[in-house]
Structure 1
Amino acid sequence: MSIYYKAFFVALIVAYFLTPFAKWVANKIGAIDVPKDNRRVHKKPIPRLGGLAIYLATVFSMLIFLPIDRTTISIIVGSTIIVITGIVDDTKSISPKLKLFAQIVAASVLVVGGIKIEFLTNPFDKGDGLLYLKAFSIPITIFWVVGITNTMNLIDGLDGLASGVGAISALSLLFVASKFGYVPIMILCAILAGSALGFLPHNFNPAKIFMGDTGALFLGYMLSAIAILGVMKSVAAITIIIPILALGLPIFDTAFAIFRRIINGRPIMEADKGHLHHRLLDRGLSQRQTVLILYMISIFLGFLAFILTGMEPEKCVIVSGLILTIIFLGASSIGLIELKKQGNK
């Protein structure tokens, strides 16, 4: 167990001490978040290149604690593309199309490195229980990586939210991977969690620095790759449900945001104040209270993912269905309440 602790604490310490450097760089190159609209919760300009510290701490620790093989190299190269894109966007802003293209390239790097979704488990199949994706493997992998990469970016709306949820998700995947004995994946999870938590003291309310697109996209990218390596290559789990729960908060929040915008006839990519953290703030909670509640939700979903990993496939399907139904009904109820409020106004 000592290697996991070492990897975790090395990443944490490096990220903590590199964050002031990232803040200095942000001020030098003009990567500053100036509150220009009512979606911004903060009231004064804040540097937003904290993700650089998370990235450097992660890569540094990977080079120390992981074998330098095809998998490690592809993750480092792909994440570097993501971080460069994030730095440019945090500084000058780039078009969504160019950002999406860079994310597809970064996802393709993982595929070249052998990190791809090759099958899904089918608990109702009396044969080997696997649904092989074949020609669909590459596009589904790219869709997964790009999707998860952006979900983390979408929840990055409050001090400490994305970094804390990212750390919780990484630790959830660590415990899931431990059931399969995937030692390198467990080390990678420990490294990512340590890097995110090392940055958190600088980012928790009141934040001295934001992670920006650089950090949010990087965390999402890394979590998407870890989910493929740590869960979706196992035949012992319902491969699509476990990572969805482990990464539940950003995934569900993004899914409901898309659904909400479609219902309201608005563009899917249009920003709004309908995210879960916005709604909790509207109910009178402080930033800290909101973030802590969302941490608890993320921990609960991660715990469910861990529990389901050890279940028989048939039972896992039933329990997963119940969990997803409850989440959907809860979100629908909140949505109806909001619609009624808007109608009364």
Structure 2
Amino acid sequence: MPELQGVGIDQAAAELRGGVMIGAWLFASLLVSASLTWLARRYALRRQLLDAPGERRAHTVPTPRGGGIGIVVVLVLAGVWLLGVVVDRVELAAMLAGLVMVAGVGLIDDHRPLSPFLRLGVQVVAAALLAAGTWHATREPILAGGAFVLAMALTNIWNFMDGIDGIATSQALLVALPIVVLEADAWSWWAAALAAATLGFLPFNFPKARIFLGDVGSGTLGFALAALLVHGLADAPLTHAWLWALPPSAFLVDAGLTLGRRVVRGERFWEPHSQHAYQAWARRLGSHVPVTCAYAGWTIASIVLMAWLGSRDRDTAQVSGFIAAWYIAGAGIWLSLQGKGVPRVKESTE
């Protein structure tokens, strides 16, 4: 009996130490992000790095940009720290190198506008690094190809969808949460650092933005989420792999359908615009807050659906059917939010 009591005490002590470590990790990530965001705002105001109001923008007063640098620093520091404990250091190192490239070109673009094709070229190299790291860890060509596609897609989607207060940051936070819970290795700690870092930035950006993420932040969030989702897919059975399409569904539906419509219309889809459903809805309501909250509500519902489907003994066809129905419902909401549609903008040919 004394031996059993000793084992119980040791186990409780280990759990307590683990809880303290997790709490310290989250608090440090949040504190560093919040502190650097505050400093970034002061720097942006001093350097006049401001986004001015305009026809294609949702804000009405000049607002500093580049606040996402705090999130970038947290992710890099957390990733470097975890290099010593991950199973495949090459996978994590390749991802971190790609993330730094995406953040770096975004940071430069926040200071002086760059060609979209130059940014795209850097993103291609970064996505290739992520794909190479995925290949090294899994030796799965399909998954490596998927890593490249997903990195390119989410890097740009998070940039496209960062158009009203709080929406890109809150979505990144929510999409990261199931990864924190379901990942079973050191990558879950990195996902936790991402969630805490976005939470540290959010008060500066919502409900009223005092600073924007900037390209340095929005692109980095998309790339980081792509890396986390791909890593989660690596060991997931096919039935559960499809479930990872649910958390980012709000952004995938809005960005995908809006981009598709612009392509069909023959518009320059790579140029800034204000034709997303969330932008049309915010204009009608005259407020960003309910739109950001509604998108958050959809994502929370997506995570609940993910958990429900994952806890049931269902085959791949059933799971994919539920997910297809969810995306069809999202497409219907997208159409209703667009109302009569956004007038086609006559774009410059200069």
TM-score range, shorter chain: 0.7 to 0.9
1:11-160 matches, within 5 Å, as: 11-35=29-53, 37-64=54-81, 67=84, 69-114=89-134, 134=141, 138-160=144-166
Q: Which moved more, 1:324-333 or 1:157-166?
A: 324-333
Corresponding residue of 1:216: 218
Q: Distance in 2 between matches of 1:26 and 1:308?
A: 45
SS in structure 1 opposite 2:186?
A: helix
* Paired residues, number: 321
Partner residue in 2 for 1:305: 306
Deviation at 1:334, TM superposition (A): 4.4
- Alignment partner, residue 326 of structure 1: 329
Maintained 8 Å contact 1:49/1:87: yes
Structure 1 residues 10 and 307, CA, compared in 2 at 3 Å: closer, same or farther?
farther
In 1, Cα distance between equivalents of 2:138 and 2:265 = 36
Of the candidates 153, 156, 173, which is equivalent to residue 167 of structure 1? 173
Is the 1:185–1:226 contact (alpha carbons within 8 Å) kept by the matching residues of 2? yes
Report if the CA contact (8 A) 1:173-1:243 is conserved: no
Correspondences of 1:256-271 after superposition (within 5 Å): 256-271=257-272
User: What CA deviation, in whole Å up to 9, does each residue of 1:55-89 have, x standing for no partner?
Assistant: 11222233445636223322221111111100111
Q: Secondary structure at the match of 2:275?
A: coil
Provide the C-alpha distance between the structure 2 equivalents of 1:308 and 1:6, rounded to a whole number of angstroms.
33
- Report the residue type matching 1:215 in the other structure: G
Root-mean-square deviation (CA), in Å? 2.6
Which secondary structure does the structure 1 equivalent of 2:331 belong to? helix
Q: Distance in 2 between matches of 1:342 and 1:99?
A: 28
* Cα drift, residue 333 of structure 1: 4.5
Aligned to 1:183: 185
2: CA distance, partners of 1:212 / 1:95? 16
Q: Distance in 2 between matches of 1:97 and 1:118?
A: 31
Measure, in 2, the Cα distance between the counterparts of 1:214 and 1:313.
Answer: 41
Shift of 1:255: 0.4
The SS at the match of 1:156 is coil
Q: Tell me the distance in 2 between the aligned counterparts of 1:151 and 1:283.
A: 23
SS in 2 for 1:113: helix
Query: Over residues 85-129 of structure 1, what are the superposed CA-to-partner deviations in whole Å (9 max), with x where a residue is unaligned?
Result: 00111111111111011011111222232368979xxxxxxxxxx
CA distance in 1: counterparts of 2:331 and 2:27, whole angstroms: 37
Aligned in 2, Cα 1:40/1:58: closer, same or farther, shift over 3 Å? same
Structure 1 segments unaligned to the other structure (5+ residues): 120-132
Distance 1:265 1:111, change over 3 A: closer
Question: Is the partner of 1:237 in helix, strand or coil?
Answer: helix
Deviation of the 1:18 alpha carbon: 1.4
Larger C-alpha radius of gyration, 1 or 2? 2
Q: Distance in 2 between matches of 1:118 and 1:32?
A: 43
**TM-score of the aligned structures, taking structure 1 as reference length:** 0.84
Contact 1:308 1:316 in 2 (8 A): yes
